[in-house]
A and B are shown apart, each in its own frame.
Chain A
């Protein structure tokens, strides 16, 4: 069933159009930066954007920092929100279940497909922005080491390792989104409702993060530690927020996946 879902994902035109749209934002920013040579002042604007003017090899990280707050989670919420509710609305859910595909297996396959989509999007963005960064912003010579935020330098292997860690961290953040969307998808009748519900949680979380009165809630908000992967590029690595981020995402994943499973396996499929 996992293979079937992956084939459906790769064959779907929507997958590739969505990824292209996501990819367009960092590409546009790269062109603008190269054109104007105007970076944000240090300490403002998206992470890494100041650093990339000097070193294009860091641009994939800047690109991920750009798409992580809104573009990518929206796309993941659409994909995972469509998982069960979309099949139900289309009428295919009942035929999938009497094939038979076990309900737990179906949930797992849908989650894997949503994560495959997030991974695909992240890899495409990382690859294109690396090329754009090197071509448009310069850097990338093998003998020229990359500078961390702490002013020290990273070798090529260190950079690659930390970039992989950052991608994994971003993927885990998206797993949190996918879990929430999948749960809502088992709950409501239309995929739109599941997606909008997930987005409401994301936007609510981002809003509360800016509010001082919501101080006590802050460590538990879904999006709180998403951008902490930046800390992986300090020297030494600042693990505190990354660790909290991992724990928090795992918490969201466990709670919402269990809720999705409990709801779906006991549900009367009447669509």
Chain B
């Protein structure tokens, strides 16, 4: 759905995005992570043809961007760096106006699609108040509705849960999962690890303009080759596993060992009562912190 090769953007002498090779597959919910200022938004803007790349190629839905934007973008819904609306118009009027722009949209089912999109984001009962009177959360929902109005095959969302309360975040997460089940590919740019962790199946991590990680989330969170063991017989276990125990914390041991079944037998045969034995997995946070340096908004002396 999205493929870039050597995508690079320079602003003067600053390299904002440095030869990024993204690959988003059909059906993915792709989490695009990175600290503030790491180049996420510039990348998203290049994908959509707003910012022109210094070098490299972009393919969206199999077509080159920005050259074929006219054919590709009608099938893409986007939320870029916060929502925006014409302040004097109501939410419904905003969506209708936006839908009337560009070519190929029939007026006949416009009202219905506007209502559908508003329903999906939880604004179905919205009144005629102008958009300037909306709360931050309502604006965010309206922006999402605008992205959904043409029933896109690909959603490109930059920080879609900004300004929402915990219930709102949950609702949007459920909505994105539901859209994904219906066949929409989602490209979710975020700096919130928890959001990506709960929703995405593939992850890319951007650090100071470079793509440092790109893989399936379950592969990234694979076992580390260490096992957590909980037992009342700590000393006995340590004696058996001499040298393999990396850390002891009250009744918990962290053991360097590849095979949980073999370890379990070893301990039980040695008379150790095992309460719990589980492979240690890396968290997404571990992966990201390992792969990236200090945040780009940190200005050290």
Contacts and interface: CB of A to CB of B under 8 A. Distances in A.
Interface in A244-271: 266, 268-270
B166 interface: no
Contacts of B84: 90-92, 94-95
Contact of A98 (B78, B87, B88): B78
Interface stretch (A22-30, A99-107, A131-139): A99-107
Interface stretch (B42-50, B167-175, B203-211, B280-288): B42-50
Contact of A12 (B51, B69, B76, B88): B88
A269 B73 contact: no
B191 to A, nearest CB: 19
Contacts of B227: none
B114 interface: no
Interface stretch (B94-102, B217-225, B228-236, B253-261): B94-102
Of listed B48, B85, B102, residue having the most chain A CB within 10 A? B102
B39 to A, nearest CB: 13
Interface residues of A, number: 23
B25 interface: no
B45 A269 contact: yes
Interface stretch (A1-9, A142-150, A165-173, A195-203): A1-9
Nearest to B97: A4
Interface string B167-209: 0000000000000000000000000000000000000000000
Contacts of A3: 100
B80 A94 contact: yes
A268 B51 contact: yes
Contact of B101 (A12, A13, A101): A101
B82 A95 contact: no
B70 A4 contact: no
Contacts of A92: 84-86
A90 B80 contact: no
A270 B41 CA distance: 9
Q: Is the interface of B mostly helix, strand, loop or mixed?
A: loop
A98 B76 contact: yes
A101 B146 contact: no
B102 A270 contact: no
Contacts of A96: 98, 101
Contacts of B42: 270
Contacts of B80: 94-95, 98
Interface string B85-122: 11110000000011011100000000000000000000
Given A91-B84, A269-B50, A100 B70 contact: yes
Contacts of B49: 97-98, 100
Interface in A67-92: 90-92
Interface in B130-159: 146
Given A90-B87, A95-B84, A266 B52 contact: yes
A95 B74 contact: no
Contact of B51 (A8, A95, A100, A269): A269
B102 A101 contact: yes
Interface in B1-32: 11
B102 A100 contact: yes
Nearest to B72: A100
Which of A95, A97, A98, A269 gathers the greatest number of chain B CB atoms within 10 Å?
A98
Contact of A102 (B11, B48, B51, B70): B70
A268 B52 contact: yes
A78 B64 CA distance: 38
A269 B42 CA distance: 10
B146 A95 contact: yes
Nearest to B42: A270
Contact of A90 (B70, B76, B86, B146): B86
Contacts of A7: 97, 100
Nearest to A89: B84
Contacts of B82: 91
B50 A97 contact: yes
Given A94-B80, A269-B50, A270-B45, A99 B86 contact: no
Identify the 6 closest CB pairs spanning chains A and B, nearest first: A91-B84, A100-B73, A99-B102, A269-B50, A268-B51, A99-B101
Interface of A: 1, 3-4, 7-8, 12-13, 90-92, 94-102, 266, 268-270
Interface of B: 11, 42, 45, 48-52, 69-70, 73-74, 76, 78, 80-88, 97-98, 100-102, 146
Given A96-B98, A268-B45, A270-B45, 5 more contacts: A4-B97, A95-B78, A100-B69, A101-B102, A268-B51
27 contacts: A4-B100, A4-B101, A8-B97, A90-B84, A90-B86, A90-B87, A91-B81, A94-B84, A95-B78, A95-B98, A96-B98, A97-B48, A97-B49, A97-B50, A98-B80, A99-B73, A99-B98, A99-B102, A100-B49, A100-B69, A101-B101, A101-B102, A102-B70, A268-B45, A269-B50, A270-B45, A270-B51
